[in-house]
Amino acid sequence: MPLALLEFSGVRNLSPTRLTVHPRLNLVVGPNASGKTSLLESIHLLGTGKSFRTNRLEKVLHHDSDSLTVFGRCQIGTEEVALGFQRRDGENEIHVDGEKVDQLAALAQRLPLQIISPDTHFSFLKHARFRRSAIDWGLFHVEPEFFGLWSRYQRQLKQRNAALKQPRMAADAWDEALAETGEQIQKQRSQYLKRLKRYIDQYARQLLHDASMELRLRSGWRQGESLAQALNGDSARDREQGFTHSGPHRADLELLLGGFDARQEASQGQWKLMTLVLRLAQLEDFVDETGRDCILLLDDLAAELDAQRRARVMSLLASLPLQIFATATEQSHLDTSAWDDLKVFHVEQGNITD
């Protein structure tokens, strides 16, 4: 079970709260603007150190508080792990089993989670960086060496970009290392998407009425060239504009529906279903590859899908070893017949009861 205990204070409109949660299904029920999504946000903060609603954590602070704190106890295999995240005076503080750590990755490694919400559907449609991060989420959690590889690429990219801004510095001194690391990232991303295909096919058949869905990765540099060739060809433009135009940091993930770019051809409803198919595929791949449980934060599914599709999604989720936190304005909006047991939390004006 990823999360057994959740405790938080200073989070938006929520009162300081301590919750013992269900290992499988937790429903969070209440009127609009009562604080349901803020409860999911607190879990997201504990697992990532970030909000899925804003890039500025100061906006997450309760209006009467100068800090926010989230604490949780997780079960990883046979071990219980304590996680803590605090935001105060513009700084993050992270604790694992009482020990202060520096990297947010320490939280993500111990509390893997995915979020499906109206906001994430929109972000996934509009911004390539969100589509890239979807791929990298799977690699971070499944391929042990990926985080180190990605971190090395970010350092090399930063050094090359700094050199590009200095007229007398030779930015091409970084090209060989950057190209080698970038090609490795591209290879791992491609292999990951190939592995996802069978899961994509499975969920697309069940949610998209047998319409074909494919994933296509754009590497971030010109097709038919190596990254080293692209960096060399871009050298004058990179120097003039002061940043690196080609590399996996410019990659994009295309979702194809019936062979066409879904961002251009799919309806809003189809796009939401396709992003849901991708998330479900990633969750099942994570479980199969690691043998671990995962948390799914499911915000306002009733606003996204009709009753028939909601019931189908809930049935599919019940077959996966996930710990789910799902919000709804009414408990009847989510079909829980596939679960033997669950827990319901009621939220009203920032107060949570069970």
| Residue for token pair 């998209």 | 208
User: Does the model's pTM come out above 0.85?
Assistant: yes
Cα 324 to Cα 22, 35, 145, 256: the distances in Å are 9, 17, 28, 28
Helix (H, G, I), strand (E, B) or coil at 312: helix
Is residue 348 within 8 A of residue 30, CB to CB? The reply is: yes
Confidence tier at 211 by pLDDT (50, 70, 90): confident
Residues 141-167, mean pLDDT to the nearest whole number: 94
How far is residue 16's CA from residue 152's CA, in Å, rounded to a whole number?
A: 40
Give the pLDDT confidence of 278-337 residue by residue, as tens digits. 999 999 999 999 998 899 999 998 887 889 989 999 999 999 999 999 999 999 999 999
Confidence tier at 5 by pLDDT (50, 70, 90): very high
Percent of the chain with pLDDT over 70: 99
Type of residue at 18? R
Return the exposure string of 25-58: e unless at least 16 CB atoms fall within 10 Å of the residue's CB, then b.
bbbbbbeeebbbbbbbbbbbbbbbbbbbbeeebe
Q: Residue 193: phi, psi to the nearest 5?
A: -65, -35
Residues 255-262, mean pLDDT to the nearest whole number: 93
Domains of the chain (ranges; CATH) run: 1-112+292-354 (3.40.50.300)
On the question of pLDDT at 55 being above 70, the answer is yes
Is residue 4 within 8 A of residue 73, CB to CB? The reply is: yes
Give the pLDDT confidence of 83-115 residue by residue, as tens digits. 999 999 999 999 999 999 999 999 999 999 999
What pLDDT score was predicted for residue 119? 80
